[in-house]
A and B are shown apart, each in its own frame.
Chain A
Amino acid sequence: MDEDNQKTNEKVDRKVIETEISMGPVHPAALEPYRVRLFVEDEIIKDAEITVGVNHRGVERIMEGLPVEKANSLTEKICGICSNSHIWNSCMVAEKALNIEVPERAQYIRIIMEELERMHSHMLYLAHGCEVLGHETLSMRMFYIRETVMELLRMIGGNRVQYGAPIIGGVRPRCELDEMRIQKLKEGMDTVEEKMTEFADRFVSDPMIMSRITGIGTLSQKDAIKLGTSGPTLRATGVEKDLRRDMTVYDPFEFDVITQDDGDVKSNLLVRVFEILESVKIIRQAVAGLPEGKITNRSWEMQDAPITKSYIEVPRGTLYHSYALQDGRVRHSVIRTPSITNIGAMQYACIGQHVTDAQLSIVQCDPCFTCTDRAVKIIRLDK
């Protein structure tokens, strides 16, 4: 056993469990159904177990044998928060498998949608975080700021949540950006930047909030890498790893990879705050340099393809989609969402915290269990 694993085992001392407290699937601090079992001694958590599977709908299984266009729109329904990421990645798999060239303008619009989604997802994270902290006012303030982004998404995509912008070979015609929309995007970005800066200033200058979130749910850099976390949760521990740097579609844009050092709730919140501001930067660049041309490439033909993989960076980390194509239908679909690796980090971050901070430690990793739920088979012990 190497040094790291020994350290983990020291932290999880299994002999001092006084009692077990279980929360969920219906619980105010959880935005989605999941089960948390906390093993506590004197209100301090000694071990934690997060059970997913409550949300399991078998999406990959339903995808099996669907026409690829239909399967793409089903992937969108995996998650209501990062719906665009799923459908984008799913389209990218098909494009990679069939060698479809996507017009430049379509790529830009896709990136605008993705960054808008990142913004609203991070804002939801902040709002939910404030709600779990017990700070209703700031949570409402955040929802108010988020409304700007939701209106932009509604304007471009036609729906507030499932906007379904990408299709194979481009984006849907209704997502075309005309002058009026571009103008509104620019105004929206100004509003968001101004209000987010104010919010962040207010947030970090509040001593009560800072004392609640500093040093809570700490995850060291070593542990974060060992547990395989990705996305902002990893970046909050100081690892400069953003898949957007490796994606060719992001090459024309300049942005910083945000990192923080501590890996606690404060770092996680700040990483998200700054990433929203980075997204504002990317959208501004995309809107300024929006190329002319058509937005959909419809000259492609369906053919069989072996299993093709695609990784992208989504608001919560690295998203993986893969499937094979046979007679225009999807086969062997596999989806791996960022939260599945972050669950380990959530359990780990809970340990050693007070029970009231447990949900905060879970929320800091931005859980999205609707994305994550995969096949779960339960074998009862008592019967």
Chain B
Amino acid sequence: MTVINSVIAVIGTFLVAFFIALWLPGLERKFVQARIQQRVGPPVSSPGFMAPIKFFFKETIKPESPMPRLYNALPIISILSVAFILLFMMPQMYTFAAFAGLIAVVGLLKIEEVIYMFMGSLSKSVLSLKMPFPDIVKGAKHPDAPRSFLEELSTKRAFRMIAFGSFPLYIALFVPVVMAKSLYLSDIVAYQQVHGPVLFTLAGVLGAVVFFVGYMVLLNEYPFSILKAKADVIEGPLLEYASKSRAYVYISRGFLMVVLASLFSTLFLGIPPNIFDWHSIVTLIVVLVFPVIMAAVSAFSPIFTYRQFYPVVLGSSILGVLAIVATFI
């Protein structure tokens, strides 16, 4: 009986998370950014819900890529890795202790980041080097210079993001670990049920701020969107996705938003996502509040180049380290 209950809970949580994920882009666009920009804005369902459905009905084309099938599979891998994070976060899965730990979460998030590198190196869009324009002509500068696609630039940036960009998020993830003295999610949740949520301590508050910065960096949202800056690389790694694959790209972003926010509520509030538990309403609030704050921040900030990016990441990483130190007080 408990097995069936667990299965229903897991599937139900998945469906609810999925459904919420489809509305988040519209929520950001309509109720936050459009309000800040003093305009009416799109309907809530359009950017996140209707757009993927529309892309499902478009003609399937072969992307301009050396490995089209791998390139098209990458968004699905990304969705799967995020889905596994959600799966391991649910209390029903805590019996599989080896997976239900932070190491697994970090590993799966790393997949999410590395995928951008693959995407970037596999995309060969018409908007960059394939544009039919006579560049190498008499009088042109440096006719012998090796030429590269815009997406290769994105690949380099994705590599840097892996190297330093996601520091804040990972440091913040380990604040609750240090407090609970365990890597397992079950222990962290149990610790918070006894001692109260991590968020209501000094370390927890610092950690939450750092977590939020990491959340925005991982989602490539506006101040940190150098990976797909419109001013040079247009959409970067995502340039060649069309029809169904583009729909998966849309969905995976919303899904990642939901999962990262519920990771926050698990680690910092001690409330794992579970539709059979009425406490999960807190998770829902966190899931809705995070994108709203993010949209407000992104509406008020320009794109950061490395000149601004390094100090922000460095500062929040130091804050994260301080948070970890503060756990010992």
Which A residues are within 8 Å of any B CB, using their own CB?
14, 17-29, 35, 37, 39, 43, 47, 49, 51, 54, 130, 132-137, 140-141, 144, 208-209, 211-212, 354-360, 378-382
Contacts and interface: CB of A to CB of B under 8 A. Distances in A.
Interface residues of B, number: 48
B148 A17 contact: no
Interface stretch (B96-104, B178-186, B300-308): B300-308
A116 B231 CA distance: 29
A246 B197 CA distance: 72
B234 to A, nearest CB: 6
B145 A19 contact: yes
Given A135-B302, A137-B299, A208-B301, A26 B131 contact: yes
B38 interface: yes
B150 A14 contact: no
B306 A354 contact: yes
Interface string B219-243: 0001101100111101000000000
Given A23-B232, A29-B232, A137-B36, A354 B305 contact: yes
A211 B148 CA distance: 29
B28 to A, nearest CB: 12
15 contacts: A21-B147, A22-B129, A23-B128, A35-B133, A39-B145, A49-B140, A49-B142, A134-B222, A144-B38, A208-B304, A208-B308, A357-B305, A380-B136, A381-B136, A381-B140
Contacts of B226: 356
A141 B136 contact: no
Given A21-B148, A35-B135, A39-B141, A133 B232 contact: no
Contact of B305 (A17, A140, A356): A356
B138 interface: yes
Contacts of B231: 28-29, 132-134, 356, 358-360
A133 B135 contact: no
A137 B33 CA distance: 8
B223 A23 contact: no
A49 B133 contact: no
A13 B272 CA distance: 57
Given A19-B146, A20-B142, A208-B308, A27 B137 contact: no
Contacts of B136: 380-382
A295 B147 CA distance: 58
A306 to B, nearest CB: 34
B137 A378 contact: yes
Nearest to A215: B307
B202 interface: no
B285 interface: no
A166 to B, nearest CB: 36
A24 B234 CA distance: 11
A18 B152 CA distance: 13
A373 to B, nearest CB: 14
B97 to A, nearest CB: 44
Most buried by A among B143, B157, B305: B305
A178 to B, nearest CB: 33
B234 A134 contact: no
Given A37-B140, A134-B301, A381-B143, 13 more contacts: A21-B153, A22-B129, A23-B128, A27-B234, A29-B231, A35-B135, A47-B142, A140-B39, A141-B38, A208-B308, A356-B231, A356-B303, A360-B231
A359 B128 CA distance: 15
Given A19-B147, A21-B150, A28 B38 contact: no
A132 B234 CA distance: 11
A37 B148 contact: no
Interface in B149-202: 150, 152-153, 156-157
B42 to A, nearest CB: 14
Contacts of B37: 136-137, 140-141
A141 to B, nearest CB: 7
B129 A208 contact: no
Contact of B302 (A19, A24, A140, A209): A209
Interface in B1-60: 33, 36-39
B127 interface: yes
A356 B229 contact: yes
Contacts of A51: 133, 135
Which 8 pairs from chain A and chain B are nearest by CB?
A134-B303, A133-B302, A379-B138, A135-B302, A19-B148, A49-B141, A20-B145, A134-B302
A47 B144 CA distance: 14
A139 B129 CA distance: 29
Contacts of B129: 22
B302 A379 contact: no
Contact of B134 (A47, A212, A358, A380): A380
B142 A133 contact: no
